[in-house]
Amino acid sequence: QKEVEQDPGPLSVPEGAIVSLNCTYSNSAFQYFMWYRQYSRKGPELLMYTYSSGNKEDGRFTAQVDKSSKYISLFIRDSQPSDSATYLCAITQGGSEKLVFGKGTKLTVNP
Amino acid sequence: EAGVAQSPRYKIIEKRQSVAFWCNPISGHATLYWYQQILGQGPKLLIQFQNNGVVDDSQLPKDRFSAERLKGVDSTLKIQPAKLEDSAVYLCASSLLRLTYEQYFGPGTRLTVT
């Protein structure tokens, strides 16, 4: 079983839709949960990170962690064409431990 | 604040040739990472430096890959000899101290081995 599983998509939605992106993980020791956004031919950029369970909101983006189910989610409200990118979840056990990335989900928001 | 710089952006070589990539991290970032991202996959850590010392190189194919970070700033990653399966994007990232959950990535070097 892979440490982090992420559906690669692709996912195509109309502008203004609510987008839900998800990852599951296998190691209950993971504590830090990140979402990175990667535009085509660019490096990943950190979007949000959360520590342990709960929700974290930043503008149109909400990150959610359910440690009991080993499930993390990223919600994008009022999606825009500029949100079209690949979204990577990343997880680590501790603040200085190795990041484990999912495969990434390719999202296209159509005008 | 300048971001992580990498060069070259693209490189095409034949198998069995050698290649080197260069990275300049964000000023003041003590930790530097090299990742390999194969098409359709997430980045995989190859090596992590703390200043000029190696913290983790457990996934670096040491028979063909080498990396150094002289003076604790710039870093180079070398592949010699290259194989077809080395075709990937090589990403450099840096972070303040060893806070791996907050890494800043460069644009990457896209390597094609023919």
Please provide the DSSP assignment of A41-82 as one string: TS--EEEEEEESSEEEEETTEEEEEETTTTEEEEEESS--GG
Give the chain B residue whose CA is nearest to the CA of A49: B101
Phi, psi of B70 (to 5 degrees): -70, 140
What's the whole-number average pLDDT of chain A?
A: 92
Taking CA A1 as the corner, what is the angle to CA A100 and CA B90, rounded to the nearest 5 degrees?
Answer: 35
**pLDDT digits 0-9 by tens, A55-69:** 899 999 999 999 999
Residue with tokens 């020791």: A29
Helix (H) or strand (E) holding A103: none
- Is the pLDDT score of B99 beyond 80? no
- Is the pLDDT score of A24 beyond 90? yes
Cis omega before residue A14 (within 30°)? no
Q: Which tokens in the block code for residue A70?
A: 């080993």
Q: Is A111 on the interface with B (CB under 8 A)?
A: no
Phi, psi of A39 (to 5 degrees): -80, 160
**pLDDT digits 0-9 by tens, A78-108:** 999 999 999 999 998 876 778 999 999 999 9
Q: Is A9 on the interface with B (CB under 8 A)?
A: no
Number of H helices, E strands in chain B: 0, 11
Which residues does chain A have within 8 Å of residue B44's beta carbon, measured at their own beta carbons? 101
In chain B, how long is the greatest CA-to-CA distance?
39
**pLDDT digits 0-9 by tens, B1-58:** 689 999 999 999 999 999 999 999 999 999 999 999 999 999 999 999 999 899 999 9
CB contact (8 A) between residue B104 and residue A46: yes
Q: Give Cβ neighbours of residue A108 (< 8 Å, ≥ 6 apart).
A: A10, A11, A12, A13, A84
CB contact (8 A) between residue A99 and residue B103: yes
- Is the pLDDT score of B87 beyond 80? yes
| pLDDT recorded at residue B84 | 97
Contact A26, A70 (CB under 8 A): yes
- Is the pLDDT score of B72 beyond 90? no
| pLDDT recorded at residue A1 | 66
Q: Is A59 on the interface with B (CB under 8 A)?
A: no
Strand order in the sheet with B5-7: B5-7, B19-24, B75-79, B65-68
> What distance in Å separates residue A32's CA from the closest CA in chain B?
7
Considering CB atoms only, which of B42, B43, B101 is closest to A32? Answer: B101
| pLDDT recorded at residue B1 | 65
Contact A106, A11 (CB under 8 A): yes
Mean pLDDT of A30-48: 94
How big is the A-B interface in CB pairs under 8 Å? 62
